[in-house]
Each structure stands twice: as C-alpha cells, then as structure tokens.
Amino acid sequence: MKRKWLLGLLIALPLMLGALLPGKSVAAAQKTYTIGTDVTFAPFEFANQDNKYVGIDLDLIKAIAKTEGFKVEIKPLGFNAAVQALEAKQIDGVIAGMSITPERQQKFLMSDPYYKSGVVMAVAKKGTIKSLKDLRGKRVAVKTGTDSADYANSIKDKYGFSTVTFDDSNNMYQDVITGNSAACFEDQPVMQYGINNGMALKIIGKPAREGSYGFAASKNNRALITKFNAGLKKLRANGQYDKIIERYLGNGSAKSQKTAAGNAQTTDRSFFGLLKANWGTLMSGLEETMVLTVVAIFFATLVGILVGLLGVLPNKFAQGVATTFIYIFRGLPLMVLALFIYTGVPSLIGSKVPAFIAGIVTLTLNEGAYTAAFVKGGIQAVDPGQMEAARSLGLPFGKAMRKVILPQGIKIMIPSFINQFIITLKDTSILSIIGLLELTQTGKIIIARNMEGFKIWTMVALIYLIIITLLTWLSNWVQKKVKA
C-alpha cells in the first residue's frame, strides 16, 4: 500500500509541476514572432469598424501561423517604419504588400510570392489626363518606399513630369483629388479597392511593371521564412488561400469587388454619422495621446529642472553640460529624433526599444530641452541682487537658491510649464511615424477604411482644438492668479 502511494506521488508530482510552471507544459510553448505591417493599405491591411486590423496580409499570416504552429504579434507601424524596424531587428518580419525586388532580397530574406500585382496610374474622376503623355510639365504623387514610386521615378524623365512623395496612401490620393497633383501611381488591387469604396479617382491604362508581393524577414531568421513558405503552400493546396483573397477582392467581377469592398463602409457617411461610427476609435487615440503627453511632460519636467539648475550653477562644466543638452535636443527635428531612437539606437545596443518607450524618450529629451531653457531663464530673470543679498546674510548658495531665488523664479515659470504641456500634446502627433496609435495615427487608420479624409481630419482637428483651448484657458487663469 505504501509503495502504491509513493508510486502515485512520483507520477503526480511531475504533472503538477508541469501545470504550475509556465512554459513547462507537456506541449512545448509556441514561438511568437513580431510582425510589422502597414496601416493604410486596404485591402491588404486596414482597421475595420471595431478598430481591429484585418486584410489579406493579416488573415494570411495568421492562417500560416496556425498551420505551422507558431504565434504572431501584429505591429501596425506604417510601411516605412515597419521596414526600418526590421532593419534594426525591432521586429521579426514584415507583411505589407511588399513587392519582391533585388534590392530588398539583398537586405532581407524574402518568401515565395503570395500575390501578383502591377502598378497603375490613377487620375481625378473628372480630370483630363488620358495617358502618360498628358503628364508632361505636371506633378505626380507617389508613396515613399513603394515599387509604384520606383516605377514613377523611372519614367518621369521620359514623360516630363515631377514627383511629390507622401508617407501614406490617403494623402497621396487626396493630393490628386484636390488637383494639386495630376495623377498618382499605386498597386492595382489597392487602387481598385479604394475606387470601389467611393474614392473619386479612376484608373488610366493597363497595369505596368507586374511583380509579386512577398513576406520579409531579417537575414538571420531563415526558420521564419521556411515556415511561411511551407504554410503558404498548404493554404494554396487546401483552398484556404483562395477564400482569403475572395473575402476582400471578390471573385474578380466588378459586382463582387464592390460587395467585398462594401464591408469597410459605414451606412451613414455624413459628418455626424461618421463621428458616431468612429467615436470609440477616436477616443482610444485621444487616450493614447493624453497618456503620452502626461508621462512625457512628467519626465521632461524632471529633466528640464535638473538641466536648468545645472545651467545657473557657478560651475563652468555644469553650465557647459546644460548648454550642450539644450542646443542638441532643441536643434534636432522631433521626427528625426524619434526615428533615431526607435530604429537607430537598437542597432547600436543590440536590443529592442518598444515604440511607447521610444516615444516617451523622444518627447522627454525634446520637451526637456525647452523646459530647461525656460527654467534657466526664469531663474536668471530674478534680480541678481536677491542672490547677493542672501549670500551677504551668510546663506550658502544652495540654501539661497532654494529659499530665495526659486520661489520667485517659479512664479515666472508656471505659465511656461502649462504652455509646454500644450506643445507636448501637439508634438505627440509626430510619433505616428513610429507606429504609436495616438490621435493622428487613428485618423489615418479610419480614413484608410472609409476614404473620408476631409471629414475625419476635421474631427481630429476639432478634438485637438477643444483640448488645447481648455489648456489655454487654464494657462490664462494661472497667470492671473500668479500676478494677483
């Protein structure tokens, strides 16, 4: 009896440990890969009415992951940011309607082709452009880093047009719709999907430069490419691939395409109808903006006060450190600083930097430099005689600064602190470049779904204006109280 009890305990103990210890279960834990994607490239990737990312690319990578026994974490970064993040090894792969080119095959491992496409030219629906020859002397819109942009630039000298570059598809389309550009170049299925959604453009001519989309991974991640290719082959064989394509593009007929595209539209496309339909999404973007602003201004204030105090110490080295810090981080454009921290620093340290952390560090350094400048200026604005009087009474420098100078300097600085909060709030919009889903990025995502650029940007502008107006009233009220 005792032996049976001991035997049962020996059998049960490993099972109990396996259940309690994470990652030690009978079935080995599945590997999770971080996959970057675009945010405005319907029907391959876009956010639906529930603000969830869907599309051919995302359905495909998820189906392959399920088939091959791994997990994926989707990072909607935007095409440029995703490619740069892959170069910096911030992510494991990119699926974003990326054309397979010799240049990309040199930088990354590219999968087998999963979709054939071609580049088309689109013009305003009521425009007069009928062929490439009509573009002479005119401006053409293209999207940064795309095969369609490469194609446009390769023929611009032949047809005598110039190009202007945009970071996302919607701004490129709007530039043509408003008449600023005569035409744009885009991948055929993407352009057709947008037109089926009511975009006021039309395709001219037949697709050119036909090529294929592929999944990209870093050079040291051959296992991921092998899994993708194996899964893609299985999906083609069992018919699941065709079902994914038909879900978004139909079976090829115009009627079928419009039905598939109609899934992304809202029934009421008036201003208030769109506001009601997208209110939750806009508020989630505003929440992210406010979190970024509050956290960044907290750290920027700490850094700014510290650096500002260094700038007024009677020490040449401390003053030099403060001056250098202010000069560098006020001088660098915020977008350049964000991209450097998010994609450049990981290459130097060999470790990933999360987008949120990169955004906070960017704002802290930039806003901290401005805060340091007005802290330094506020202290220096106090009559120098105050410090001399305090020192003559026997107070040491630190105590004189704390008891006499800072209380007067803070009164001068308070309005600037509130104004800096307003500036930080507006500066968060630049962080959309590294894929943070703040209010501006949220606007781009909604527009990619419904193609209502003017109405959605009006909503985003009004939200910013309301928040900034409230903060401005607060700033004015504080200034009156300080002066009283």
Over residues 239-251, the pLDDT tens digits come to 999 999 988 887 5
CA distance 236 to 179: 42
CA distance 103 to 144: 15
pLDDT at 203: 92
Angle between helices 453-483 and 169-177 (to 10 degrees): 110
CA distance 113 to 51: 29
> Tokens representing 413?
């600085």
| CB of 68 closer than 8 Å to CB of 111 | no
- The Cβ-side half-sphere exposure at 266, using a 13 Å CA radius, reads 22
474 confidence band (pLDDT: 50, 70, 90): confident
- How many residues does this entry show for the chain? 484
CA distance 51 to 36: 17
Q: Is the pLDDT of residue 407 over 70?
A: no
pLDDT at 197: 76
Taking Cα atoms as reference points, which of 448, 435, 445 lies closest to residue 85? 435
pLDDT at 13: 44
DSSP codes, 82-103: HHHHHHTTSSSEE-SS-B--HH
Residue 297: CB partners within 8 Å, gap ≥ 6?
Answer: 363, 367, 420, 421, 424
Beta strands in 273-379 (DSSP E): none
Q: Computed over its alpha carbons, how large is the radius of gyration of the chain?
A: 28
> Tokens representing 151?
């194609």
Taking Cα atoms as reference points, which of 463, 431, 471, 48 lies closest to residue 282? 463
pLDDT at 23: 44
More confident residue, 197 or 36: 36
Q: H or E segment at 166?
A: strand 162-166
User: 331 burial class (0-12, 13-18, 19+ CB within 10 angstroms)?
Assistant: exposed
For a pLDDT cut of 90, what percent of the chain falls above it?
Answer: 34
406 confidence band (pLDDT: 50, 70, 90): low
Give alpha helix (H) positions in 21-71.
Answer: 56-68
482 confidence band (pLDDT: 50, 70, 90): low
pLDDT at 279: 87
Neighbouring C-beta atoms of residue 454, cutoff 10 Å? 11
How do beta strands 93-94 and 115-124 pair? unpaired
| CB of 208 closer than 8 Å to CB of 151 | yes
Angle between helices 240-249 and 254-261 (to 10 degrees): 80
Neighbouring C-beta atoms of residue 319, cutoff 10 Å? 15
Query: What region does 15 belong to: left with phi over 0, alpha with psi -120 to 50, or beta?
Result: alpha
Using CA atoms of 353, 38, 454, 142 in order, give the dihedral in degrees to the nearest 10: 110
Q: Is the pLDDT of residue 69 over 80?
A: yes
Cα angle for residues 79, 81, 70 (degrees, 5° grid): 80
> Looking at 1-15, 425-439, 452-466, which range is the least confident one?
1-15
Q: Is the pLDDT of residue 416 over 80?
A: no
- Mean pLDDT of all residues in the chain? 82
Distances (CA, A) of 248 to 36, 58, 261, 462, 477: 20, 12, 7, 33, 54
11 confidence band (pLDDT: 50, 70, 90): very low
Mean pLDDT of 431-454: 79
How do beta strands 201-213 and 115-124 pair? antiparallel
Q: Is the pLDDT of residue 94 over 90?
A: yes
Mean pLDDT of 478-482: 71
CA distance 234 to 111: 14
pLDDT at 290: 92
Taking Cα atoms as reference points, which of 87, 433, 446 lies closest to residue 284? 446
| CB of 267 closer than 8 Å to CB of 420 | no
Q: Is the pLDDT of residue 3 over 60?
A: no
pLDDT at 403: 65
pLDDT at 244: 93
| CB of 149 closer than 8 Å to CB of 105 | no
9 confidence band (pLDDT: 50, 70, 90): very low
Tens of pLDDT, residue by residue over 347-401, are 777 777 888 899 999 999 999 999 888 888 777 766 666 666 666 766 776 666 6
pLDDT at 387: 65
Q: Is the pLDDT of residue 321 over 80?
A: yes
CA distance 286 to 25: 41
Residue 22: CB partners within 8 Å, gap ≥ 6?
Answer: none
pLDDT at 64: 96
Phi and psi of 109, rounded to 5°?
-85, 125
pLDDT at 463: 93
For a pLDDT cut of 70, what percent of the chain falls above it?
Answer: 82
Q: Kindly list the structural domains of the chain, giving each domain's residue range(s) and its CATH number in brackets, ordered by start.
A: 1-30 (no CATH), 31-114+214-265 (3.40.190.10), 116-211 (3.40.190.10), 271-483 (1.10.3720.10)
pLDDT at 314: 80
pLDDT at 391: 66
Q: Is the pLDDT of residue 51 over 50?
A: yes
Which of 9-13, 16-20, 308-312, 414-418 is modeled with the greatest confidence?
308-312
pLDDT at 365: 94
pLDDT at 441: 82
Neighbouring C-beta atoms of residue 254, cutoff 10 Å? 10
Q: Is the pLDDT of residue 310 over 50?
A: yes
pLDDT at 267: 56
> Tokens representing 456?
């959605």
Which of 37-51, 252-266, 299-313 is modeled with the greatest confidence?
299-313
Mean pLDDT of 61-65: 95
Using CA atoms of 13, 18, 24, 29 in order, give the dihedral in degrees to the nearest 10: 150
pLDDT at 458: 92
